[in-house]
């Protein structure tokens, strides 16, 4: 296990792959830790240097008191990159991880070679939606919303075919620290990156699962359409976590995108 203090917060991370290869930074979704990338990383092994980390309030990283701002999450990533002396990176963000990627592009675009936005948007949901979710969790804990969240995260086919694995993802969700989950909900609720995302000038690939109940494909596509030269790709049959349900397809899309843009 690797740990460092960045932006005043203890962060758990993994850095693997050849030191002379392009760096991909993976930033994960609300209610998951960096194991959400395991299958994808296995398929990219040897071709890239890959950094995964548990964002503030998730996995083994420190859960500071809620609420958080998106600038907290972005600052944490900047601090981690500073600690590891990593520049000229590709950032692949899933859901709130995609907001973190867009936030980094707004603050330090010179640090990024390209961006992959997976099942995310420049603005996710409404304040009322997030307030309702947070209220339900404050009353009944994450457990109260776990089943409907699984229905958005994973396609019906996956849940039917792999009930035991679905339970593992449910466990990961419900074991997320309360402050981490509620704090990050507040960060998502309070941020709208539409204006800064319109100004992004770098290669951008958007990926969306066709069965995503959290950020449906049209929502992802709408954000990619804001970015000059952005490209959107659909992963058929996958929910909110296409890197879990179809890592072969996602790895192929990422590899093709990076090759097209001279990042090999």
CATH at 40:
3.40.50.1820
Residue 110 has pLDDT above 90, yes or no: yes
User: What is the tens place of the pLDDT at every residue in 165-191?
Assistant: 999 999 999 999 999 999 999 999 999
pLDDT at 226: 97
Percent of the chain past pLDDT 70, that is, above it, reads: 100
- Other beta carbons within 10 angstroms of residue 107's beta carbon come to 14
* Averaged pLDDT score across all residues of the chain: 98
User: What is the tens place of the pLDDT at every residue in 26-52?
Assistant: 999 999 999 999 999 999 999 999 999
Q: The domain containing residue 162 runs over which residues?
A: 2-260
Q: How confident is the model at residue 101 (pLDDT cuts 50, 70, 90)?
A: very high
The number of angstroms, rounded, from the C-alpha of 257 to the middle of its chain's C-alpha atoms is 18
Is 188 within 8 Å of 99 (Cβ atoms)? yes
The 89-94 sheet, strands edge to edge: 2-6, 9-16, 49-53, 23-27, 89-94, 112-118, 204-209, 231-235
Percentage helix, strand, coil for the chain under 3-state DSSP, each rounded to 5: 50, 20, 35
Alpha carbon distance 102, 196 (integer Å): 8
pLDDT at 133: 97
Split into its structural domains, the chain has a count of 1
Alpha carbon distance 128, 134 (integer Å): 10
Residue 264 has pLDDT above 90, yes or no: no
User: What is the tens place of the pLDDT at every residue in 117-161?
Assistant: 999 999 999 999 999 999 999 999 999 999 999 999 999 999 999
Alpha carbon distance 197, 104 (integer Å): 10
Q: What is the pTM of this model?
A: 0.98
Q: Minimal CA–CA distance to 124: which of 144, 94, 104?
A: 94
């Amino acid at each position: 296990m690797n740990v460092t203090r960045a932006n005043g917060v203890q962060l758990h991370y993994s850095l693997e792959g050849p030191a002379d290869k392009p760096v991909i930074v993976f930033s994960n979704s609300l209610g998951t830790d960096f194991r959400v990338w395991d299958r994808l990383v296995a398929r990219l092994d040897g071709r890239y240097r890959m950094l995964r980390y548990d964002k503030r309030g998730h996995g083994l990283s420190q859960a500071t008191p809620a609420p958080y701002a998106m600038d907290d999450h972005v600052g944490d990533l900047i601090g981690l990159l500073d600690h590891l002396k990593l520049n000229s990176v590709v950032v692949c963000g899933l859901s709130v991880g995609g907001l973190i990627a867009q936030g980094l592009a707004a603050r330090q675009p010179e640090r990024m070679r390209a961006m992959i936005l997976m099942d995310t948007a420049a603005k996710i949901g409404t304040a009322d939606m997030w307030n309702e979710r947070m209220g339900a969790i404050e009353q009944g804990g994450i457990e109260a919303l776990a089943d409907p969240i699984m229905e958005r995260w994973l396609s019906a086919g996956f849940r039917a075919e792999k009930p035991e694995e679905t339970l593992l993802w449910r466990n990961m969700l419900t074991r997320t620290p309360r402050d981490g989950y509620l704090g990050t909900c507040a960060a998502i609720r309070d941020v709208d990156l539409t204006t800064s995302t319109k100004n992004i000038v770098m290669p951008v690939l958007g990926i969306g699962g066709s069965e995503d109940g959290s950020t449906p494909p049209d929502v992802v596509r709408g954000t990619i359409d804001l970015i000059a030269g952005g490209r959107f790709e659909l992963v058929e049959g996958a929910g909110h976590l296409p890197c879990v349900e179809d890592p072969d397809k996602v790895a192929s899309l990422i590899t093709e995108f990076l090759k097209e843009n001279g990042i090999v």
